[in-house]
């Protein structure tokens, strides 16, 4: 099921053992190479380490009441997993990034994204158009298959517009009307 990424921010993290609220998921750590949410930075008074993180692989269930984990033993510190530490220090934030097409034409900025609830892979980007485009068009949805490249400043997407080939000019042929003669005839007044 697809969920809005903004819907998962400030989501309570609940323990399956005790049923108590352990923390709140705050910031997603997104891997820019595959657009997968690897972990969430947590906030809460019961956390022993700062920052504490929750790997998305350790989330047992995502329900309407929050993210359900086995226990607080699932929380990790920053230095526990090297890949997560690198992503944390990278500081990649998808929201607010410019979206351009292959011809460097700016399409807008990422306003939100849609996440697959089973594996936390980002499937779609919701792109907010510029001021002038927003007057005539609604927001733009970009599927992950349309993304060509992600760099430090831009997300480059595949261009959907096709280049038009020049149309050959038609030759002007002289057209002769068979019902008109080339020399006008005098009108017959007898008729």
How far is the C-alpha of 176 from the C-alpha of 111, rounded, in Å? Answer: 63
Question: Is there a single domain that holds both residue 6 and residue 86?
Answer: yes
Global pTM exceeds 0.85: no
Question: Which one, of 23, 26, 28, lies nearest residue 12 by Cα?
Answer: 23
Taking all residues of the chain, what is their mean pLDDT, rounded to a whole number?
86
Question: 150 is in which domain, residue-wise?
Answer: 98-157
Asked which of 81-90, 114-123, 134-143 is least confident by mean pLDDT, the reply is 134-143
pLDDT tens-place string over residues 52-99: 999 999 999 998 899 999 988 889 998 888 899 999 999 999 999 999
Question: Which CATH number goes with the domain that contains 86?
Answer: 2.30.30.240
Contact (Cβ atoms closer than 8 angstroms) between residue 86 and residue 62? no
Contact (Cβ atoms closer than 8 angstroms) between residue 123 and residue 36? no
Question: Is there a single domain that holds both residue 84 and residue 142?
Answer: no
Distance of CA 146 to the CA centre of its chain: 9
Contact (Cβ atoms closer than 8 angstroms) between residue 24 and residue 46? no
């Amino acid at each position: 099921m697809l969920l809005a990424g903004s819907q998962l921010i400030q989501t309570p993290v609940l323990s399956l053992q005790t049923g108590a609220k352990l923390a709140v998921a705050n910031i997603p750590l997104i891997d820019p190479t595959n657009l997968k949410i690897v972990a969430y930075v947590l906030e809460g008074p019961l956390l022993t380490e700062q920052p504490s993180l929750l790997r998305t692989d350790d989330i047992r269930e995502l329900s309407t009441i929050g993210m359900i984990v086995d226990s607080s033993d699932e929380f990790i510190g920053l230095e526990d997993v090297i890949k997560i530490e690198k992503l944390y220090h990278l500081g990649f934030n998808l929201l607010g990034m410019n979206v351009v097409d292959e011809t460097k034409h700016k399409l807008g900025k990422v306003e939100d994204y849609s996440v697959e609830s089973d594996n936390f892979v980002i499937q779609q980007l919701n792109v907010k158009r510029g001021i002038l485009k927003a007057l005539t068009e609604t927001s733009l949805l970009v599927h992950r298959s349309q993304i060509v490249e992600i760099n430090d400043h831009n997300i480059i997407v595949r261009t959907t517009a096709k280049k038009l080939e020049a149309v050959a000019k038609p030759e002007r042929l002289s057209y002769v009307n068979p019902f008109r003669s080339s020399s006008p005839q005098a009108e017959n007044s007898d008729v």
